[in-house]
Copies of this chain bind each other. A is one copy, B any other.
Amino acid sequence: MVTGTAEMRRKALIGAALREISDRGSLDVTMAQIAERAGVSAALAYHYFGGKDGLIHATMRHLLAEFREVVADGLRRSGTPRQRIDAVLRGSFGPEQFHRATVSAWLTFYALAQSSAPAARLLRVYHRRLRSNLVHALRQLVPAPEAERIAENLGAFIDGVYLRGALRGQVVPRAAISAVEDYLDLELARRA
């Protein structure tokens, strides 16, 4: 698969944006900084992304896509519903999710979603997908309405554990993941 120059540049710029975000710990990076990192002129970044928003959103989409692929990969290898849920957990708490750039991007993204419609939309898509993965698996274990409820709470627990790890700048410990699983067990046990 031959990738054209344009595609290569776009990727290079997104990578540079991520590295810059990582270094500064915030989305408050300038186009000039990013472009310099990518070894191109700022004007080129405008040429390819239309503006700063374009580049930032492309970067977020890249992160989201990466996350989706990790999870999708895990799902493909999963046989049982329980394994599928575990795949989501492993995706959410994998070390990639705790790289400084990823953490900064996620946290700023949460904030950005308050004032930027495209950011909010992207975030909703991510939430819907996460939820849908969980609901699918849970439906094979419990009745549909229960599956919805549990998926929501499980998702919240996952987000909370991620948030704390992110704020500490550390990968979340096994114990925290176990706690999420324990909660899941409790919910499933109710049905037994």
Contacts and interface: CB of A to CB of B under 8 A. Distances in A.
B176 A152 contact: yes
Nearest to A159: B160
Integer count of this chain's copies in the complex: 4
A164 B107 CA distance: 13
Contact of A113 (B155, B167, B179): B167
B164 A156 contact: yes
A161 B157 CA distance: 7
A48 interface: no
A46 interface: no
Nearest to A179: B153
Given A153-B176, A153-B179, A179-B153, A25 B114 contact: yes
A29 to B, nearest CB: 11
A103 interface: yes
Interface of A: 24-28, 100, 103-104, 107-108, 110-115, 123, 127, 149, 152-153, 155-164, 167, 175-176, 179, 182-183, 186-187
